[in-house]
């Protein structure tokens, strides 16, 4: 199975992205992915107890058994901490898009990313939606990719193609994210389209598994956003035998995980101000949870991240970070291996001497540019 770092819209999907005036810079800020066929859908969301209005809306709609037709996403405003009016704005966005598409309002999902605590400028959105819908096309994915970015410096897409019952199936995801990235998702949005025929239960399970092995293994600054959403739509246009389990399910999940991991790594590569892409693997942990805790403790240590920026082989900071996580490692059993630091890609291994489990996480360094970006962002 091949994962490619580009966007290939699966059969039956259309996309577009435009500038509707939410961003003062005039950059694109409104995107849509539309399926001409009814789609099964699933979502994974932030664990932040403060949830943005679009997250509330998507959770509700995805808890039902219905089909879906479109995702509308805006950047420049998170529609979070905006109370009852925020939820009403999210509903209006979905409803207005549905009317233009000729579908029912509950067939539309929404997502937002940007500043927290300000109301969505609804006139921009309602004014832009007509143009957004009119411009939907099979070649519009690149425009959608641009319209969901905030502090990102490049667009992010990945695709997988595989065979299921002699039919070609495509999975394609686009994502945004560059800061406020922590495990259990972050200020990241990811929209995935597939033409696979798959049951709702299998789609849900495959997405959870793929997210656990990708977006939940990256951290930029340990800060968890209120808006994180990964949404997938499956419209069955590939006409493959419906995936419900067995080998086909395994293949689908592997392809989906491949797409998600490719996108997750792109987010780390685009981390605000980052100069390094760091892969940290914890070995010899008692169980998978402990391995992940150890790797994340290192990845989230500001001191470690500064040392990486300085190409400073200060392995004491790795030791201190693991110890601070509370894992009862013994000094004599604990080993650290730092790869060469004078490269863009750095590999770190730690051996805890407590068992046989391991886990890998991905992170970036902490740089003066990260601080400047986040001192000025509002």
Catalytically active residues are 187
Q: Does 376 bind its own copies (CB under 8 A)?
A: yes
Handedness of CA 106, 11, 193, 195 (dihedral sign): positive
Q: Which is nearer to its own copies, 53 or 71 (CB)?
A: 53
Q: Which is nearer to its own copies, 186 or 232 (CB)?
A: 186
Q: Which is nearer to its own copies, 153 or 312 (CB)?
A: 312
State both tokens at 66: 């219905």
Please give the residues from 219 up to 258 whose contact with its own copies meets the rule CB under 8 A.
221-226
DSSP-derived secondary structure for 129-154 = HHHHHHT-BTT-HHHHHHHT-SS-SS
CA–CA dist 222, 325 (Å, integer): 14
Q: Fill in the DSSP letter of residue 237.
A: T
Q: Does 340 bind its own copies (CB under 8 A)?
A: no
Q: Which is nearer to its own copies, 130 or 371 (CB)?
A: 371
Please give the residues from 76 up to 115 whose contact with its own copies meets the rule CB under 8 A.
78, 80-81, 83, 115
Residue span binding its own copies (CB under 8 A) among the ranges 133-141, 148-156, 240-248, 364-372: 364-372
Q: Fill in the DSSP letter of residue 316.
A: H
Q: Which is nearer to its own copies, 57 or 327 (CB)?
A: 327
CA–CA dist 115, 179 (Å, integer): 13
Q: Does 343 bind its own copies (CB under 8 A)?
A: no
Binding mask 29-58 for its own copies (x = CB under 8 A): ------------------xxxxx-------
Instruction: Write down the least CB distance from residue 311 to its own copies, Å.
Output: 8
- Are 347 and 279 within 8 A, CB to CB? yes
Query: Which run of H or of E encompasses 25?
Result: none
Of the candidates 10, 179, 258, 349, which one interacts with its own copies according to CB under 8 A? Answer: 179
Q: Fill in the DSSP letter of residue 106.
A: G
Q: Does 332 bind its own copies (CB under 8 A)?
A: yes
Q: Does 303 bind its own copies (CB under 8 A)?
A: yes
Q: Does 116 bind its own copies (CB under 8 A)?
A: yes
Q: Which is nearer to its own copies, 1 or 50 (CB)?
A: 50
Count the residues of the shown chain that bind its own copies, applying the rule CB under 8 A: 59
Please give the residues from 13 up to 32 whose contact with its own copies meets the rule CB under 8 A.
none
Instruction: Write down the least CB distance from residue 161 to its own copies, Å.
Output: 37
Q: Does 355 bind its own copies (CB under 8 A)?
A: no
Q: Does 267 bind its own copies (CB under 8 A)?
A: no
Q: Does 366 bind its own copies (CB under 8 A)?
A: yes
> 230-248 burial by CB neighbour count: b if 16+ within 10 A, else e?
bbbbbbbbbebeebeeeeb
Contacts 24+ apart (CB under 8 A), 56-63: 56/87, 56/90, 57/87, 57/90, 57/91, 57/94, 57/109, 57/110, 58/109, 58/110, 58/111, 58/229, 58/231, 61/106, 61/109, 62/109
CA distances from 212 to 10, 114, 361, 369 (A): 24, 24, 11, 30
CA distances from 171 to 155, 176, 207, 329 (A): 17, 17, 12, 42
State both tokens at 276: 């390094």
Cβ contacts of 216 within 8 Å, gap of 6 or more: 183, 184, 185
Please give the residues from 305 up to 324 whose contact with its own copies meets the rule CB under 8 A.
306-307, 309-310, 312-317, 319-324
Q: Which is nearer to its own copies, 212 or 373 (CB)?
A: 373
Q: Does 342 bind its own copies (CB under 8 A)?
A: no
Which residues make up the interface to its own copies (CB under 8 A)? Answer: 47-51, 78, 80-81, 83, 115-117, 179-180, 182, 221-226, 301-303, 306-307, 309-310, 312-317, 319-324, 326-329, 331-332, 334, 366-368, 370-378
């Amino acid at each position: 199975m091949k994962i490619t770092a580009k966007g290939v819209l699966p059969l039956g999907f259309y996309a577009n992205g435009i500038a509707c005036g939410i961003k003062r810079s005039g950059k694109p800020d409104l995107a849509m992915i539309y399926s001409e066929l009814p789609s099964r859908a699933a979502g994974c969301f932030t664990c932040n107890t403060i949830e943005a209005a679009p997250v509330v809306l998507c959770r509700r709609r995805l808890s039902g058994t219905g089909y879906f037709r479109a995702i509308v996403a805006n950047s420049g405003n998170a529609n979070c901490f905006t109370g009852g009016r925020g939820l009403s704005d999210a509903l209006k966005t979905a409803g207005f898009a549905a009317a233009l598409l000729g579908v029912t309002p509950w067939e539309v999902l929404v997502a937002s990313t940007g500043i927290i605590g300000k109301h969505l400028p609804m006139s921009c959105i309602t004014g832009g939606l007509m143009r957004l819908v009119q411009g939907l096309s099979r070649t519009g994915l690149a425009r959608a990719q641009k319209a969901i970015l905030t502090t990102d410096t490049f667009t992010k897409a990945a695709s997988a193609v595989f065979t299921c019952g002699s039919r070609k199936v495509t999975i394609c995801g686009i994502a945004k994210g560059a800061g406020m990235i922590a495990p259990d998702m972050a200020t990241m949005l990811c929209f995935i389209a597939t033409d696979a025929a798959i049951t709702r239960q299998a789609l849900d399970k495959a997405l959870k598994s793929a997210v656990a092995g990708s977006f939940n293994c990256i951290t930029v600054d340990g800060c968890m956003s209120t808006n994180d959403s990964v949404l997938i739509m499956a419209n069955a246009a590939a006409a493959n035998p419906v995936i419900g389990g067995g080998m086909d399910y395994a293949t689908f999940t592997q392809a989906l995980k491949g797409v998600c991991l490719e996108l997750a790594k792109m987010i780390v590569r685009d981390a605000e101000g980052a100069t390094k892409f760091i892969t940290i693997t914890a070995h010899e942990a008692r169980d998978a949870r402990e391995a992940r805790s150890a790797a994340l403790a290192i990845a989230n240590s500001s001191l470690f991240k500064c040392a990486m920026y300085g190409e400073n082989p200060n392995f004491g900071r790795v030791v201190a970070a693991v110890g601070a996580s509370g894992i009862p490692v013994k000094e004599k059993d604990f080993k650290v291996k730092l790869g060469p630091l004078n490269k863009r890609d750095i590999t770190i291994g730690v051996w805890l001497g407590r068992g046989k489990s391991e886990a890998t996480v991905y992170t970036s360094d902490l740089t003066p540019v990260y601080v400047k970006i986040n001192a000025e962002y509002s």
